[in-house]
Amino acid sequence: MNKDQIEGKIEEAKGKVKEAAGVILDDKELEIEGNLQKNIGKVKAGLGDLKEDIKDSI
């Protein structure tokens, strides 16, 4: 695992927590912020996966 994968997974988890808190508290802004953070984390983790695949193929 590389740095991007780890950071991406952490961001994704924090986003899921924020999103759930937004749903529970009926706070649409917090829910949207969490969803955005979750998706950014997924993208960053995906970038890390891609870097690992490239490194493994070389």
* Region class of 33: left (phi > 0), else alpha (psi between -120 and 50), else beta: alpha
Quote the pTM value. Answer: 0.88
Pull the structure tokens for residue 56. Answer: 């493994």
Q: How many C-beta neighbours within 10 Å does residue 35 have?
A: 15
- Residue 36 has what DSSP assignment? H
Q: Which of 17-21, 22-26, 54-58 has the lowest mean pLDDT?
A: 54-58
Q: State the pLDDT confidence band at 46, using cuts at 50, 70 and 90.
A: very high
Burial class (CB in 10 A: 0-12, 13-18, 19+), 49: middle
Domain residue spans in the chain?
3-57
Q: State the pLDDT confidence band at 13, using cuts at 50, 70 and 90.
A: very high
